[in-house]
Amino acid sequence: MTKYRFLEVPPLNSNLLMLQLGRLGDFMCSTAFLPILKRQRPDISVAGIVRRRLLNVTGSCEYIDLILPYGLLYDIPLSIIKNIVYKPDIFVDLNHFVSETSKIVTFLSLADIKLTIATGHKTYPYNRFIALEGIESYHIVDRSLAVAELLGLRVSERDRRPHICIPMEGFDGANRVLNDFGFEDYIAINISAGSDDRMLSSEKWREIIKFILKESDKNIILLSMPSHMEIIEAIGFRNKRRVKSYTGGDFFTFSALISKSSLLISPDTSAIHIAGAFNVPVVGLYPDVSWNINMFGPTSDTKVVIFQKGRLVKDIETSLITKTLIQQLF
């Protein structure tokens, strides 16, 4: 499966591998190789550096042995970090865009090898690079698998998935929600996104929901962050027997509801990566930006990417979405 060019990096031997983990989507995709690592090289310990607000998410991952939140790095004297927990053999940063904080964290690392993806805007403090021919044509999961190959791990096509650990509490929460709703088979529609440019209007969602209810016998669960509850309310769905909503704000319940769905429709890539981790069919709404689709597109076996030439997600016509749904799914 090798398709990477490694610059000045021979196959690596390591006892402690440290990962720089970024935003939620980056975390799910950049840790895709960890289950492979723990199966084939259980002798390697893994430490992860994460933002404090993702501490709950990363803390549930059984493949990460040590978690260091950003803030903690500045609360502990550097001498203690150097002597106890912050001397990995290899420091890996797979994020595409790196903040100044991220560079500072990398600089503080005492690892001899500071490995990242070769891009035009990332050099110092990194000293080893993985070169991807035409980097913007590679999915972010491929970067994770490149590290796996550097470590001499066997990688197959079925490993090309994001990874997320959902604790049993998350599945218990989802089961309680589904029991309350009386649903077994349902479509999950995530209306939330990290950018206003990716947010469809309540009117457009209303048309999509009406179409699904008319053309299929599927139930629907609308998912959103608590801050987007007003959009759920504005949709004003009338068929409440078949349309329910979850806005509880618990990330793991949210993720488990996606994992149990028969289809996810979403404008947000983090939700799409969650579906990919469980091979849930996906209809992803994307802007007309090829590198964004290539790098952050769905990885599920059954997937449809919808975009409209020259338009942002919020401007995609409803008729294009419903036409695609009826052609591909019903």
256: pLDDT confidence band, cut at 50, 70 and 90?
A: very high
Order of strands, sheet of 186-190, starting from the edge strand that comes earlier in the sequence: 243-246, 219-223, 186-190, 263-266, 282-285, 303-306
48 in Cβ contact with 66 (< 8 Å): yes
Strand, coil or helix: what is 117? Answer: strand
Q: Which domains does the chain have, with CATH numbers?
A: 5-159 (3.40.50.2000), 168-328 (3.40.50.2000)
**DSSP one-letter code for 53:** G
Decide: helix, strand or coil at residue 219. strand
26-55 pLDDT, tens digit per residue, is 788 888 889 999 999 888 888 777 777 777
Over residues 139-163, the pLDDT tens digits come to 888 888 888 888 888 998 888 999 8
Cβ(293)–Cβ(307) below 8 Å:
yes
Share of the chain above pLDDT 90, in %: 40
Task: Give residue-wise pLDDT tens across range 297-329.
Answer: 999 999 999 999 989 999 999 999 999 888 766
Q: At what angle do helices 318-328 and 202-215 cross, to 10 degrees?
A: 30
